[in-house]
Chains A and B, each alone.
Chain A
Amino acid sequence: MSNSFPGFLAAAGHGGASNAALVSFGVYLGLVLLLAVFASRTLKKRSFVSEYFLGSRSLGTWALALTFAATSASGGSFMGFPSLIYTHGWVLALWIASYMVLPIVAMGFLGKRLNQVARKTGAITVPEVLRERFGSLSVGMVATLLIVFFMFFYLLAQFKAGSNILTTLLKDIQLYSDCVAWVGTTIEPIPWLNRAEPDYLLCLIAFAVAVIAYTTYGGFRAVVWTDVLQGFIMGGGVLVMLFLTLMLVGGLGNATRKLAEMTPPDPGRAVLQIAEPASDVVSIPKGAWIRAEPEPNSDPNPDPDLAGTDRPATLVRTAERTTIAAGASSSPPVSIIRITDTVGAQPPEDRIEKGLTARITEIEPYRFGAGQAGVYVSAPGPDPNKDIGFLSIGLAMSFFVFWAFGATGQPSNMVRLMAFRDTMTLRRAIATVSIYYSLIYFPLVIIFCCARLVLPGMEVDSDRVMPEMATHVTAAAGMPWLAGLLVAAPFAAVMSSVDSFLLMVSSSLVRDVYQRNINPNASERRLKGLTYAVTALVGIAAVLAVINPPRYLQNLIIFATSGLAGCFLVPMTLALYWRRINGPGTIAGMLGGCGTHLLLYIVGYLTEGRFTVYQFLGIQPFIWDLIGSAVCAVAFTLLTRSPAAAQQARFFDESGSPNRPG
């Protein structure tokens, strides 16, 4: 390794590339922490609570635009979404298409009116807006509890995503491997902790320390400023990856034509065998490439020239770790995928396990698209679990509703709409976010459709396709140091969401629970100390909850985001635009949305035996959440007393000076 810094960065070879990537990544992380320090200095000059939770309502165009965009783009956008694109193909462009109108809907539909009402009431949190709008502590408390509940699940998924990204980035670094080994040894005797993967645990702690530190220290302004930085990183990272990917695959047309020839892999199970009994335990990692034994030719219309011969050997990739015990020559059956075409890149010979063969015992072909060419370039897209394919037309329509209106109903987005400086800022930000999303989401579809040609068999761990692709394209372009910045893009997305949600939960607890209900006369010093403590504790609690992580990252994200939108979109919309709605109606609307949401997940669990939502009539559950929320809100409003005339006048009629609470 060269002693000079540029030489260090340009070092070739696997370990050198990873070190260079780590340096780039470290630079990015350093910038984030520096911004938090500057933000904290601003904090000292202003009213703590207003500045810490809402940046003193002074966000300008770029800050509003990028904090909005970065908060919306989470680990799901840069880990889960690429994973889906890789697995199902071009149909994901249809799945995400609603993002073309998301900015104008999510920011324009409620933004101006929400900002006005928040200023009029002096509210700095979403529950506070609702509480002040109706003069009801109960409304505020219900809103707070729902936010804390769903946000916590969202935090769990994001912490897991952040750890996964770091794991991929660091895996080839010797120092990291040594630290992982040390962690593994240390936690081995500790119950519960010893169930965690040591590499995942180490990265989880590193990620959590960084995010919790700058969020706790800098508050809302740190979150916003780092969102701006992360927004630039995400946008720049995607565009660079797009360019490098298209160069690697020989152009988009070439890639699409090859994709049209590809067929989905076959999931199944196999027994892994060695020629002689093992003298010691043989460990076979997840993702290992192994040649399958030639299978008997069972084609019902056999080629006469192949009569009596076996089907040529194919490659399989393990979907889980396994071992061959000492003295044995085969493993227990292990999950695998069988590669069914040779159109895309094949793994290099040196990555195929020597001395090991796979005897396939069971194949469960995709329920839609198995053995069919063209499924990756058309709808509904291949799917291992659903007969109707990945995206039926009904589901496509549902997602067009969900993305745009789901974002509108997110409390984390609502808070940002309460923080902009003036309406000109809002208008400019809407236009900015619109262009920004165009530069991120559609290019991601292109990049990860092309990824199928470059990285075969990633179905075994598709959540890692983003960092793997970033590493691959930069290495192929002779710029391994760039991988650190490209991997920083999904990492930035995760951080920008975690910091926002962490702050939302802490603001709900401190402002809406403690200050409003327990100690309204709390001093600013006490609030400050409590805020720091709660922010840190919530982060730590989330980390503890994902030490043994849930399996379905994307499912957790969808549960939380659709749950929040289902609870808040209708009540907030009615609160801002309907005179007649009252406190009981708002509470009913929030609980109606929540109840519908939980019911669909319970039914999903009972029918499928796993954490998933039941799609009643094939429609995205968010639609049902909205219907449940709207029915409850309107019914309870009409069945209960009208709000007082003075209250209606305050928010709907032109009045003189504002009437803010003390």
Chain B
Amino acid sequence: MIEPKSSVEPGGPPDPISPVSTDPVYQHAKRESGWILAIWFGFAAWVIGYSRMRGYDVDPEQLTLTLGMPSWVFWGIAAPWFLANVVTILFSFCYMTDHVTDENDNISGQTTDSAPI
């Protein structure tokens, strides 16, 4: 990805625009972080929303159980927790980009063949 680099020295003459490649590790990390925030938000909406609707001020006479726990706990917390594990594993192994460590012990922009683009 090519981004134009503009002057950042205040008070000085503007530098000519020259194309510079953005660090691929930075690019991939930034993209992955965006998706991680989305995942967090999705599960937050499920857990908080469902618990608010079904978990507050439950009448003990009306209490229902699922697998031995209050149903609102099962559907509002246990089930999304299981799914969060699935999503985390899939995200880690199938989406996050793998970068090689180069001979200078740095994480380089080079990706491995097995890593998704």
Contacts and interface: CB of A to CB of B under 8 A. Distances in A.
B20 A649 contact: yes
A426 B107 CA distance: 12
A31 interface: no
Best-surrounded residue of B21, B52, B107 (most CB of chain A within 10 A): B107
Interface residues of B, number: 68
A119 B99 contact: no
Contacts of B89: 431, 434-435
Most buried by A among B29, B76, B89, B112: B29
Given A90-B70, A93-B77, A108 B36 contact: yes
B98 A423 contact: yes
Contacts of A252: 67-69
Interface in A409-452: 421-424, 426-428, 430-431, 434-435, 438, 442, 446
Contacts of B10: 641-642
A373 B10 CA distance: 68
Interface string B89-101: 1011100111111
Pick from A97, A374, A380 the residue with the most CB of B within 10 Å: A97
Interface in B30-59: 30, 32-33, 36-37, 39-40, 43-44, 47-48, 51-52, 55-59
Contacts, number: 207
The dominant DSSP class at the A interface is helix
A653 B21 contact: yes
A396 B48 CA distance: 7
A654 B22 contact: yes
A404 interface: yes
B21 A377 contact: no
Interface string A555-599: 000000000000000000000110000000000000000000000
A102 B84 CA distance: 10
B1 to A, nearest CB: 10
Contacts of A374: 58-60, 63
A285 interface: no
A621 B24 CA distance: 36
A648 interface: yes
A253 interface: yes
B77 A94 contact: yes
B36 A104 contact: yes
Nearest to B30: A577
A246 B85 CA distance: 24
B68 A430 contact: no
Contacts of A104: 36, 39-40, 87-88, 91-92
B20 A653 contact: yes
Contact of A109 (B36, B47, B80): B36
Nearest to A645: B8
A100 B80 contact: yes
A101 B43 contact: yes
Contact of A427 (B15, B28, B81, B92): B92
A161 B69 CA distance: 30
Contact of A101 (B5, B20, B84): B84
A115 B88 contact: no
A268 B108 CA distance: 65
A81 interface: no
A359 interface: no
B63 A422 contact: no
B30 A100 contact: no
Contact of B56 (A378, A397, A577, A653): A378
Given A94-B76, A442-B81, A109 B33 contact: yes
Nearest to A104: B88
A105 interface: yes
Contacts of B24: 654
Contacts of B63: 257, 260, 374, 377-378
A658 interface: yes
A495 interface: no
B26 A113 contact: yes
Interface in B58-82: 58-60, 63, 65, 67-70, 72-73, 76-78, 80-82
Contacts of B78: 93, 442
A120 B105 CA distance: 9
A552 interface: no
B25 A112 contact: yes
Contact of A256 (B28, B69, B96, B99): B69
Interface string A200-240: 00000000000000000000000000000000000000000
Task: Pick from A112, A642, A644 the residue with the most CB of B within 10 Å.
Answer: A112
A378 B47 contact: no
Contacts of B60: 260-261, 373-374, 377-378
A112 B77 contact: no
Contacts of B23: 651-655
A541 B59 CA distance: 51
B35 to A, nearest CB: 9
A652 B88 contact: no
A109 B51 CA distance: 27
A165 B58 CA distance: 36
A329 B26 CA distance: 75
A113 B99 CA distance: 11
B104 A657 contact: yes
A97 B70 contact: no
Contacts of B101: 421-422
A642 B51 CA distance: 46
A400 interface: yes
Given A113-B26, A374-B59, A431-B92, 12 more contacts: A97-B47, A101-B43, A113-B25, A116-B107, A256-B69, A261-B60, A378-B58, A393-B51, A421-B101, A422-B98, A435-B85, A654-B24
30 contacts: A94-B51, A97-B47, A101-B40, A101-B43, A104-B36, A112-B25, A112-B107, A115-B107, A256-B69, A257-B63, A377-B60, A378-B56, A393-B52, A400-B47, A421-B101, A426-B96, A427-B92, A428-B92, A431-B92, A431-B93, A434-B85, A641-B10, A642-B8, A642-B9, A642-B10, A644-B8, A651-B23, A653-B23, A654-B22, A657-B104
Interface of B: 5, 7-10, 15, 20-26, 28-30, 32-33, 36-37, 39-40, 43-44, 47-48, 51-52, 55-60, 63, 65, 67-70, 72-73, 76-78, 80-82, 84-85, 87-89, 91-93, 96-101, 104-107, 109, 112
Query: What 8 A-B pairs are tightest by C-beta distance, nearest first?
Result: A252-B68, A374-B60, A378-B58, A100-B84, A253-B68, A654-B21, A113-B29, A100-B81
